């Protein structure tokens, strides 16, 4: 493939996610395969502003496919939100002969890329990297599968102690705006109730359901709550509410927090990252810009970056129904 693109920068931005390193590796190795120079940018857009660059070759990414986090570090840059910040970043890219970049991150990172492209007509491609799975135009974002497995693994452990003590556990998982982790990990771990930001199932419905399950002979229960669930109460307030209204329940709370973002990526995330990285570089080589490399029906595909940001993902209603039936 003959391409005008000579030097691609790669950066990770926003919250880290398992699989980001595998995606960096893929971008770097694809560049090496096509004899394109590749520059790693440290600390996301902030590193562009500070010219925190490092030349990367195929050997710079040895032994990172299995590593969580991101070797390039990440940041949420306030300065990049300003015209002056973006101008500094542009000047640094030009000074270093960089003619395009691949950003691995979530919707905030993509919005930054779009603004930058509009101002400087600079070619950009996005790779969706976030454990939240909340990006339109892809069935999966990098890190989501790993995070699900981490959460299920932890809830399995919580279930052991919940069942030994006949307790009810509220487990808070990540997801400020979306409930993919809560719903899927909840079903996978056999949670009795799942509270998500997309649907208000009603707190009294939960009480009824807990009462019913106690009556039917269940001695312990797990309720999975997404950070931003619709009841408007945090997980501790929910626990208090249940203790006040169902005094025969002994309640405990576990907030899983940032451990959900760490750890070695699953095989699924590694393969996905490898495929997306190749697609991102080849798309730039074809002279295209402002796309996100995603996956739909197991096919790597492109979605316009603005659609990836603006489009709304939908929670799977069938899964909600399955969860309801499973709690019988
Ligand atoms: O977007 C990924 C995410 O992990 C969310 O699920 C969570 O709400 C948020 O990031 C936490 O962000 P921070 O690490 O900045 O507190």
pLDDT digits (tens, 9 = 90+) for 44-61: 999 999 999 999 999 999
Ligand 1 centre distance from Cα of residue 155 (Å): 20
Report pLDDT digits (tens) over 3-29: 899 999 999 999 999 999 999 999 999
Q: Is 176 in the pocket of ligand 1 (CB under 6 A)?
A: yes
Q: What is the pLDDT of residue 270?
A: 99
Task: Name the least confident of 44-53, 181-190, 205-214, 235-244.
Answer: 205-214
pLDDT at 173: 98
Choosing from 15, 150, 173 the residue with most ligand 1 atoms within 8 A of its CB, the one to mutate for a pocket test is 15
What pLDDT, in 10s, does the model give residues 254-275? 999 999 999 999 999 999 999 9
What domains does the chain contain, in order, with CATH numbers? 7-143+265-310 (3.40.50.450), 145-261 (3.40.50.460)
Amino acid 177: pLDDT: 93
- Residue 131 near ligand 1, beta carbon < 6 Å: yes
User: Which residues, in sequence order, are bridge partners of residue 299?
Assistant: 296
Atom of ligand 1 nearest to the CA of 176: 8
Ligand 1 pocket test, candidate residues 69, 144, 176, 263, most atoms within 8 A of CB? 176
Predicted confidence band of residue 202 (pLDDT cuts 50, 70, 90): confident
Q: Which is catalytic among the residues 107, 132, 229, 269?
A: 132
Q: Closest residue (by CA) to atom 3 of ligand 1?
A: 15
pLDDT tens, position by position, 162-197: 999 999 999 999 999 999 999 999 999 999 999 999
From the alpha carbon of 260, which atom of ligand 1 is closest? 4
Question: Is pLDDT larger for residue 142 or for residue 215?
Answer: 142
Give pLDDT tens digits for 310-324: 999 999 999 999 999
Q: What is the pLDDT of residue 327?
A: 84
Give the residue whose CA is nearest to atom 8 of ligand 1: 176
Question: Mean pLDDT, the chain, as a whole number?
Answer: 96
Say yes or no: CB of residue 128 within 6 Å of ligand 1: no
**Spatial distance between the Cα atoms of 28 and 222, rounded to a whole number of angstroms:** 43
Q: Is the CB–ligand 1 distance for residue 85 below 6 Å?
A: no
122-126, 132-136, 226-230, 289-293, range with the lowest pLDDT: 226-230
For the stretch 80-111, pLDDT in tens is 999 999 999 999 999 999 999 999 999 999 99
> Stretch 204-220: mean pLDDT, rounded?
91
Q: Dihedral of the CA atoms 267, 273, 274, 277 (nearest 10)? A: 180
pTM for the model stands at 0.96
pLDDT of residue 328: 82
Question: Would the CB of 175 count as within 6 Å of ligand 1?
Answer: yes
CB distance 15 to ligand 1 below 6 Å:
yes
Q: Is the CB of 159 under 6 A from ligand 1?
A: no
Active site residue 132: yes
Q: Is the pLDDT of residue 2 over 90?
A: no
* Per-residue tokens: 49: 């502003």
Q: pLDDT by residue (tens digit) across 142-166?
A: 999 999 999 999 999 999 999 999 9
pLDDT score, position 3: 84
């Amino acid at each position: 493939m003959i391409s005008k693109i000579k030097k691609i920068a790669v950066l990770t931005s926003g919250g880290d996610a398992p699989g980001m390193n595998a995606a960096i590796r893929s971008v770097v190795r694809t560049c090496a395969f096509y004899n394109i120079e590749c520059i790693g940018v440290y600390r996301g857009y902030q590193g562009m502003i500070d010219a925190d660059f490092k030349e990367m070759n195929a050997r710079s990414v040895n032994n990172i496919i299995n590593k969580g986090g991101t070797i390039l570090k990440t940041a949420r840059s306030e300065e990049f939100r300003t015209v002056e910040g973006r101008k500094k970043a542009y000047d640094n890219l030009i000074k270093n002969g960089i003619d395009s970049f691949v950003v691995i991150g979530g919707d905030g990172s993509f919005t930054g890329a779009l603004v930058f492209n509009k101002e400087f007509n600079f070619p950009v491609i996005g790779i969706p990297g976030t454990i939240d799975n909340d990006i339109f135009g892809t069935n999966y974002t990098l890190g989501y599968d790993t995070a699900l497995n981490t959460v299920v693994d932890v809830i399995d452990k919580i279930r052991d102690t919940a069942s030994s003590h006949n307790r009810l556990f509220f487990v808070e998982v990540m997801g400020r705006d979306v409930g993919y982790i809560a719903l899927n990990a909840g079903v996978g771990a056999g949670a009795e109730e799942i509270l998500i930001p997309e649907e208000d199932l009603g707190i009294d419905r939960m009480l009824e359901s807990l009462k019913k399950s106690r009556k039917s002979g269940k001695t312990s229960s797990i309720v999975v709550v997404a950070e931003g669930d619709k009841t408007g109460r945090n997980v501790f307030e929910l626990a208090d509410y249940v203790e006040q209204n169902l005094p025969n329940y002994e309640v405990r709370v576990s907030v899983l927090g940032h451990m959900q973002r760490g750890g070695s990526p699953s095989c699924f995330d590694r393969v996905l990252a490898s495929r997306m990285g190749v697609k991102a570089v080849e798309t730039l080589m074809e002279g295209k810009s402002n796309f996100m490399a995603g996956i739909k029906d197991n096919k790597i595909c492109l979605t316009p970056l603005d659609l990836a940001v603006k489009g709304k993902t939908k929670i799977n209603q069938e899964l909600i129904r399955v969860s309801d039936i499973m709690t019988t």
